[in-house]
Structure 1
Amino acid sequence: MIGFIGSVFSPWYAWAGRRDPHDHVCLNVATYGPGGRFAMTERGSRWLGTSADRLEIGPSSMTWTGSELVIDIDEWSGLPLVGRMRGRVTVRPRALTSVELPLTPDGAHVWRPFAPVSDIEVDLEGAGNRWRGHGYFDANFGTRALEADFGFWTWGRFPTGDGATCIYDADRLDGTHLASAFRFGPDGSAEEVEAPPRTSFRRSLWAVRRETRADPGTVPKQALNMLDAPFYSRSAVTTRLDGEVTTGVHEALDLQRFRSGLLKPMLAVRVPRRR
């Protein structure tokens, strides 16, 4: 789930010149496996409500209780499985971190991993959509379009025996490169570490380039395909970090492709808009 104010992947936001982020909001919800569904309905500013501890987007909301992030979902999924997506997801952080990582030297883009080590409880309507496990809660903030500063990036969150490791790699358009890795403990501790080498692995179904960090001699491998788009890949990936085999969520984003005007009409089918 991703809550957007200023939906960075929205064709409607791009066509509007990205002038008013509050008029382009949505709650993106995706489930995977048999019967997996995808919802990303964009809404105008009249559907947005915010306070210090609550984000409302249409009939859905995110509420911070002081110890939990409670996400109430009431959305419609798109093709191929059109239908109502309703229920609640509760994220319980083991602890909150103080990490705030600028992704560009001027701080125009910032990554804020609030709770890399969390417990999660999922209770959505439909078979197979009730479970408990480990979760993750972060946020990104920006004052410019992603494609204005980046050509390609990958991100990964990999659980470890005593916490989680998060890895950010990004090729900036000014020719510089972001390479950052943090090891998080269940007590909220955070340590920036030197990650193993960048290692390529098999491209996505849309041939999006993919790479992550891996110990020498290890080739990362996709364990589960989650979301495939012409410019974006989300998957569960197995790799080895500092001698520990781990499977985590991995994203690859090709912003050179996303910049193409040909993609915007395709995205409009997946991202319907309700003013």
Structure 2
Amino acid sequence: MQYRHPSVVSQTGPDFSAPVPRDGYAWWYVDALSDCGRHGLTLIAMLGCVFSPWYAAARRRGAGDPLAHPALNLALYGEGGRRWALTERGARDIERSDRRLAMGPSELRWDGTRLVVEINEITSPWPSRLRGRVTVHPSMLLSRAYAIDATGRHLWTPISPYGRVEVEFTQPALRWQGTAYLDANEGSAPLESDFDSWNWSRASAIDGSRIFYDTRWRTDGASPTNATTTPEVAESAIGRSISLAIDAQGGTEELPPPPRQSLAATRWGIARETRCDAGARATVLETLESGPFYARSLVRTRAEGREWTAFHESVSLRRFAARWVQALLPVRLPRRPLR
């Protein structure tokens, strides 16, 4: 497989100052589970909020500046109730350097060894305050980007498949430690221009991680189909399957993916599938988030004979582009520039 050098990740960690192409996006993603198994979170800091109806409208007008549409998404799961926030800010609400990204009242800081996220947000659709800090301690810093489309317009970089996390919130009152995953995505085109859907999952442990990323491309002529096939990375005219094994030292091996296995669809009718050894059965342990075009779940699966509990994500860009879904988005994704 041909690799790329990402813009938003350097050999020393995330780079928040990297240029983001017009009509494109960049995001830095964290998910985490507590050691006790009773809490979890996902956090996504986006320049060019990929699911924003306002950014989509700006692109249609020829004014697709990603820096005018930043957003921080935070979801808390587990005991004490779930919280969810995704508020889009404006261009004047951004301050950024290579090691700092502020978006309105929240900010991310990279000090060379850890990522500190200071959070001050309002939940939606029912407003309540989210105020706290998430500190991620990566166990490694990887900087190899993988194209998830045919022509390299969309890149994914698994920065640290395994690390430690400290979570401290005053609103709501919450404190826990656990394991964390850190990656980055960047692109020079809207997701819905090139993708029909994807299923992604990561299973991590102190001695190694297993990651699967299965993308399905649009087949209406929007995506090129000049991909090549290799034994390690299964590709076809309609998508790509990336299958990585990453050891505790950051050594990365591309393995043939186990067979696809369907999972139960969500209440919104979003199809879910994962990779699982032949003869084994994958199951959904818990649906953490469920919406009209996406789902985030905890999944139990088996790969190369090892049982894993994995964070799993299913996204339907076809559904996302539907007019009725676009009409619903402002309810969960308000736009509130501060300046």
Q: Within 5 Å, give how 1:144-155 maps onto structure 2.
A: 144-155=189-200
Q: Which residue number in structure 1 is paired with residue 83 of structure 2?
A: 37
Cα distance in structure 2, aligned partners of 1:21 and 1:227: 26
| Residue of structure 2 in register with 1:166 after alignment | 211
How is 1:209-224 mapped onto 2 (pairs within 5 angstroms)? 209-224=271-286
Shift of 1:22: 0.5
Name 1:130's counterpart in structure 2.
175
Corresponding residue for residue 251 of structure 1: 313
On the 8 A contact 1:117/1:185 being kept in 2, the answer is no
Of residues 123-132 and 46-55 in structure 1, the stretch that sits farther from structure 2 once superposed is: 123-132
Is residue 53 of structure 1 aligned with residue 99 of structure 2? yes
The aligned counterpart of 2:231 is: none
- Offset of 1:222 from its aligned partner? 1.1
> Which one of 85, 102, 108 corresponds to residue 62 of structure 1?
108
Partner residue in 2 for 1:201? 263
Deviation at 1:213, TM superposition (A): 0.2
Closer, same or farther in 2 for the Cα pair 1:127/1:86, shift >3 Å?
closer
Give 2:54's aligned residue: 12
- Mean alpha-carbon deviation: is it higher for 14-23 or for 125-134? 125-134
Cα displacement (A) at 1:232: 0.2
Mapped contact 1:233–1:251 kept (Cα < 8 A): yes
Question: CA 1:112–1:205 in structure 2 vs 1: closer, same or farther (change >3 Å)?
Answer: same
Which one-letter code corresponds to 1:64 in the other structure?
W
Provide TM-score, normalisation by structure 2.
0.78
Displacement after TM superposition at 1:128 (Å): 6.6
Tell me if the contact between 2:129 and 2:171 (Cα under 8 Å) persists in the aligned partners. Answer: no
- Report the equivalent of 2:165: 120
Give distance in 2, aligned partners of 1:134 and 1:189.
19
Does the residue aligned with 2:77 lie in a helix, a strand or coil? coil
CA 1:177–1:99: 2 relative to 1, 3 Å: same
SS of 2:323 mapped into structure 1: coil
| Alignment CA distance shift 1:206-1:262 (3 Å) | same
Partner of residue 327, structure 2: 265
Residue aligned with 2:92, SS:
helix
Using the TM superposition, name which of 49-58 and 212-221 deviates more: 212-221
1:209-241, Cα deviation, whole Å (9 max, x unpaired) = 000000112222111211101110001111111
Q: 2:155 aligns with which of 110, 126, 132?
A: 110
Cα drift, residue 169 of structure 1: 0.3
Deviation larger for 108-117 or 96-105? 96-105
**Once superposed, what is the RMSD of the aligned Cα atoms?**
1.4
Q: Give CA deviations for 1:193-214 in whole Å, capped at 9, x if unaligned.
A: 1121111011112110000000
Greater relative contact order (CA < 8 Å, ≥ 6 in sequence): 2
Distance 1:202 1:262 in 2: 24
2:67 corresponds to = 22
**Structure 2: distance between partners of 1:195 and 1:129:** 38
Q: What code does the residue aligned with 1:5 have?
A: L
Offset at residue 79 of structure 1 (A): 2.9
Q: Distance in 1 between matches of 2:267 and 2:67?
A: 34
Q: Which amino acid aligns with 2:306?
A: E
Q: How many residues align?
A: 274
Q: Could you say if the C-alpha distance between residues 144 and 127 of structure 1 is closer, same or farther in structure 2, counting changes exceeding 3 Å?
A: closer
Distance 1:205 1:256 in 2: 17
Letter in 2 for 1:157: R
The secondary structure found in structure 1 opposite 2:331 is helix
Aligned equivalents of 1:274, 1:58: Cα separation in 2: 9
- Stretches of structure 1 lacking an aligned partner (at least 5 in a row): none
Unaligned regions of 5+ residues in structure 2, if any?
Answer: 1-42, 220-236
2:142 equivalent among 88, 92, 97: 97
Q: Report SS of the residue matched to 1:205.
A: coil
CA distance in 2, matches of 1:228, 1:198: 21
Cα distance in 2, alignment partners of residues 130 and 265 from structure 1: 36
